[in-house]
Amino acid sequence: MKTTGTFLILFLAGLASAQISVSPGNTIKVGEVVEGKKVTAVWTLTNSSSEKQVIGGLQPACGCTTAEPTKKELNPGESSEIKVIFDSANRLGDFHKPVTVYINGSKTTQVELVLVGTVVNPEGPKLELDQNRIDLGVCAYGKPVRRELTLRNRGNQVLVITQIEMAKQKILTSPVNIQPNSSYVIDLVLPSPGTPGLYSEYLTISSNDPVVKRQIVSVVGWFEARLGVTIVKEKEFNLFYQVRIINDSPDKVKVSDFIPGDKYEIAQGKEVIEPGSYSIVQVMKGTLGTLKF
CA distance 266 to 268: 6
Lowest mean pLDDT among 48-57, 128-137, 183-192, 221-230: 221-230
User: What SS3 class is residue 8?
Assistant: helix
Going along 132-284, which residue ranges are E strands? 133-140, 145-153, 159-166, 169-170, 176-178, 183-190, 197-207, 214-224, 229-236, 240-247, 253-254, 264-268, 272-273, 278-284
* CATH number of the structural domain spanning residue 245: 2.60.40
Which one of 172, 192, 226 terminates a domain?
226
Say whether both 43 and 112 belong to one domain.
yes
Banded model confidence at residue 282, pLDDT cuts 50, 70, 90: very high
Mean pLDDT of 161-189: 91
Say whether both 170 and 220 belong to one domain.
yes
What pLDDT sits at residue 163? 94
Q: Which domain holds residue 246?
A: 228-293
Say whether both 77 and 160 belong to one domain.
no
Strands 27-34, 110-120: pairing kind: parallel
* CATH number of the structural domain spanning residue 200: 2.60.40.10
Which one of 67, 85, 120 terminates a domain?
120
Say whether both 165 and 180 belong to one domain.
yes
Banded model confidence at residue 281, pLDDT cuts 50, 70, 90: very high
The residue that leads in pLDDT, 227 or 232, is: 232
When divided into structural domains, the chain yields a total of: 3
pTM: 0.47
Which one of 180, 205, 226 terminates a domain?
226
Whether the pLDDT of residue 12 is over 80: the answer is no
What pLDDT sits at residue 82? 93
Say whether both 76 and 28 belong to one domain.
yes
The residue that leads in pLDDT, 106 or 194, is: 194
Say whether both 210 and 232 belong to one domain.
no
Say whether both 187 and 88 belong to one domain.
no
Say whether both 261 and 216 belong to one domain.
no
Say whether both 167 and 60 belong to one domain.
no
Say whether both 57 and 73 belong to one domain.
yes
Say whether both 185 and 249 belong to one domain.
no
